[in-house]
Amino acid sequence: MNTRREKPMAMDFLTFFIILLLSFIWICTVFQTLNSKHRKSGKLPPGPYPIPIIGNILELGQKPHLSLAKLSKTYGPLMYLKIGYLETVVVSSPEIAKDILQKYDHVLSSRSVPSAAMAKEHHKHSMVWLPVENQWRKLRRICREQMFTLQRLDASWGLRREKLQKLFEYVSQCCVNGQAVNIGEAAFITSLNLMSATLFSVEFSEFNSDSSQEFKDVFWGVMKCVGSPNFADYFPLLKYFDPQGLLRQTKFYFGKLFAIFDGIIDQRLKSRGTQMKDDLLEALLDLNQKSDPELSRDDIKHLLLDLFVGGTDTTTSTVEWAMAELLHNPNKLLKARNELKDVVGVNGLIQESDISRLPYLQAVVKETFRLHPAAPFLPHKSNADVEINGYVVPKNAQILVNVWASGRDSNTWLNPDSFMPERFLDRKTDFRGQDFELIPFGAGEEDMSRFAIGLSDGTPHASHFDMQL
């Protein structure tokens, strides 16, 4: 009796599942058909033919920047793909990148917000994800006028110098003890403390401490969640289910960071009457405590999140790659060390004012940016149809400027896969996004070069030592 009842129930479930699956496929097909209207109304850039429903997602591989760079050799520097149901245009040349980031910046300055970035409503407060409208412009103005002025940065130079001195002493002690130096770990802790000194006038972490590993886990957790491919971003129906759990994980990491920021803000508010500090948090709280506040407390926390995650990750990865390249090219390392000896002496601690007198070291940083950009893609989003190079970039399409591919474009660079800092010695190239052969941070209204704080601090001191693999 039970067996006979179970069979119809099993059949009913199977039938329901098949109907549900077919309904899902039908909805997706209709959605894809509606989205493909641009193929009829305009000429899209060339690209591989998309598979129904999943599009070109299988062609991304484990390293999308490499896969897309390879595809661009077949389809050209302006390429169209469907990643799931997300229309995507990939740019792989400096010339077209200039059009995207500067000429058509007013139309292409928005970004497709990944599901993970919606954790704690971060996308509603973050300069990274806000559309270029009033709130974004207000935050940008505050950063320029109140935060990153020379006066405020100069005021925190003493604290930053102290953190760099600690790095110098830590590496020196490792040399005396015959210990290997973990460049990534040392760069991360120094970057973290440089940011915390500039923002809060406090130190977050110590070398060889449990707290440094905890911070590292949190920051890298945030970067992994926001930067990982997420099916919820490519298939709209999945956004409600968070199948990979990336949104939940991001909420957890954001919550840990916001708890730290809340504690620092509360402590600062209590001490403001008796002890005033001239740091960036003080500037933000001044705007928050006005009778007509320009910033809410949530705005402050989300802005601090952007600065910490962006600044720490950018500096750490750049210093680590720079030292890796120098160690693999001992003759380049020797040139950098000799330049430092000539400018600051054998045991001298470099000053920020010395950077302009270190052209070879600047060339090392630029060459590192070229070969190893902090992020391989600069994501943008089109607010309207726009014609570029005779092709239509459709409204709401995701635009990925493949910075990694542009940095290795053989039409622009001689021996593009070789580490050659000398190429920048006679070349006036601005790494802040004004020269489109080298665009590690972006350009135009979306210029995120503020995340470069500390880059000029870390690499010089690391290059001071006679290092070997």
Write the pLDDT tens digit of every residue in 267-284. Answer: 999 988 777 777 889 889
Half-sphere exposure of 459 (CA within 13 A, CB side): 32
pLDDT of residue 446: 37
> Which of 338, 277, 299, 292 is closest to 135 using CA atoms?
299
Mean per-residue pLDDT, 36-59 = 81
Residue 454: the pLDDT is 41
The whole-chain average pLDDT of the chain stands at 82
**Cα-Cα end-to-end distance for the chain:** 74
Q: How many residues does the chain have?
A: 469
The pLDDT value recorded for residue 11 is 46
Amino acid at 98: K
pLDDT in tens, 7-35: 454 445 556 556 655 566 666 555 555 55
Predicted confidence band of residue 338 (pLDDT cuts 50, 70, 90): very high
With a cut of 70, say whether residue 381 has pLDDT above it: yes
Q: 56-462 sits in which CATH class?
A: mainly alpha
- Written as six digits, the tokens of 436 are 């489109």
pTM of the predicted protein model: 0.82
81 within 8 A of 59, measured Cβ to Cβ: yes
d(CA 276, CA 282): 8
**pLDDT, average across residues 239-249:** 93
pLDDT at 370: 93
pLDDT tens-digit map of 427-467:
766 555 445 566 654 444 333 333 333 444 445 455 555 55
- Stretch 338-349: mean pLDDT, rounded? 82
Q: What is the mean pLDDT of residues 87-102?
A: 91
Structure tokens given for 236:
């709209």
The predicted structure's pLDDT at residue 428:
66
Structure confidence by residue, pLDDT tens digits, 258-268: 999 999 999 99
Distance CA 356, CA 375 (A): 26
